[in-house]
Structure 1
Amino acid sequence: MKLKVCGMKYPDNMLEVGTLLPDYMGFIFWEKSARFFDGSIPTLPDSIKKVGVFVNESIENILDKIEKYNLQAVQLHGKESVEFCLNLKTQLASSIEIIKVFSVADDFDFAALAPFENVCDYFLFDTKGKLPGGNGTTFDWKVLEKYPSKKPFFLSGGIGLDEMDAVNEILKTNLPVYAIDVNSKFEIEPGLKNTEALQQCITIKNS
């Protein structure tokens, strides 16, 4: 299982988190977010994939950010359509991953995923809330027992150290969990990550 640390904001903190070698580091390009990023990214280890997080953004602006920050993945956290994802996919280099986010509640209809199967590389399941993301709460992961696909997915939404045992239990099932996505529960303040807590998370993940 891979690890994505999302909502990075401060270059020095990026370097600190970079020493832990998470698989992905996320940068939020949605201006209404407390973790909105519009700065510079220092040189990070090559193994860390930089993810741009977008909410109902234009393809032109997404492509601009990919070039400006040398992003390796795009996370679509809004109401992007299948057609939008397909158009984006045709304009991206094949090496750039597309992660399509779905906000999950107890009544989530997994049939909504089928049209997106061929236009993204991964799904990401986050907790449905007032904001597109960063609500800091988990959803009932038992809902995932209804997951009908083999496409690997990121598990997100309020994951902290207290949730890691439950995460490891999910990994014992046949669900294709590709990565966990952590953010607010590993912060000192919005955008500033607690590297000691992240190290504990990695230790538990690898145990």
Structure 2
Amino acid sequence: MKVKICGITDIHAAKVAVEAGADAIGFVFADSKRKVTINQAKAIIDTLPTDVRKVGVFVNEDIETIQDIIDMTGLTMVQLHGDEDPETCKKFSVPVIKALGVSSKKDCEKIQEYPCEYILLDSPKGKYRGGNGETFPWEMVDSEALKGKKLIVAGGLNINNVSLAIQSLHPFMVDVSSGVETNGKKDDEKMIQFLSKAKMGTGEFCQ
């Protein structure tokens, strides 16, 4: 099972996550308490192994701005977490993850509208897009809606429910942010435990 630790803001947390087995590190460039600057992200990315995915998270940002940040930092994937249309997903030099909030089965009907290989399903937006620590109704998702896509599951995951999420949805990857934090900061032990728990699961059915 692949794991993304999102909302990384410093080199130490990135190092702990990678050493514990993280496959992807997420950097938030949208409004968030975890927002990073271009320079912060580049400094962290420069320390990461080449085989770790470096994912930039954006919300309704200009295409040109996103591409500039890709070029300046070394991002290897982009996560679009706003109201971006399907055409926008074709505009970048790196693979795109389109994030969709799920509150009903109707939300899942949008999945096939997007041309990108990766779809991230998350809880509906709260104060921020993502990172709100709430799960979405997993039962709303069916394999037909995900046909041909690689599913990334986010939203309220933690050490206590990640195994059930994997068993229920058989994703390509799980994505965690607030679930591995203490008092709003990445917690070394929580990251290590989450990665260990997730790696024990299997389930790459949605490919």
TM-score > 0.5, shorter chain as reference: yes
Report sequence identity in percent.
Answer: 33
Q: Secondary structure at the match of 2:141?
A: helix
Q: Secondary structure at the match of 1:201?
A: helix
Does structure 1 conserve the Cα–Cα contact (< 8 Å) formed by 2:105 and 2:141?
no
In structure 2, distance between residues paired with 1:149 and 1:158: 21
Q: Secondary structure at the match of 1:25?
A: strand
Q: Which runs of 5+ in 2 are unaligned?
A: 201-207
Structure 1 residue 11: deviation in Å? Answer: 2.0
In structure 1, distance between residues paired with 2:180 and 2:138: 20
Structure 1 residue 198: deviation in Å? Answer: 1.8
**What amino acid does structure 2 have at the position aligned with 1:198?**
M
Aligned 1:85-104 pairs, distance under 5 A? 85-86=89-90, 88-89=91-92, 92=93, 96-104=94-102
Cα RMSD for the two superposed structures = 1.7
Answer yes or no: is 1:200 the counterpart of 2:199.
Answer: no
Does structure 2 conserve the Cα–Cα contact (< 8 Å) formed by 1:21 and 1:47?
no
Structure 1 residue 17: deviation in Å? Answer: 2.0
Equivalent residue, structure 2, for 1:145: 142
**What amino acid does structure 2 have at the position aligned with 1:148?**
A
Structure 1 residue 107: deviation in Å? Answer: 4.7
Q: Secondary structure at the match of 1:63?
A: helix
1:19-47, CA deviations, whole angstroms, 9 ceiling, x for partnerless residues? 223110000001x2000001131411222
Aligned residues: 193
Equivalent residue, structure 2, for 1:4: 4
Equivalent residue, structure 2, for 1:16: 16
In structure 2, distance between residues paired with 1:58 and 1:10: 25
Q: Which runs of 5+ in 1 are unaligned?
A: none
Structure 1 residue 147: deviation in Å? Answer: 4.7
Aligned 1:80-119 pairs, distance under 5 A? 80-86=84-90, 88-89=91-92, 92=93, 96-116=94-114, 118=115
Q: Secondary structure at the match of 1:145?
A: coil
In structure 2, distance between residues paired with 1:13 and 1:50: 14
Equivalent residue, structure 2, for 1:136: 133
1:76 to 80, 89, 93: 80
TM-score (norm 1): 0.86
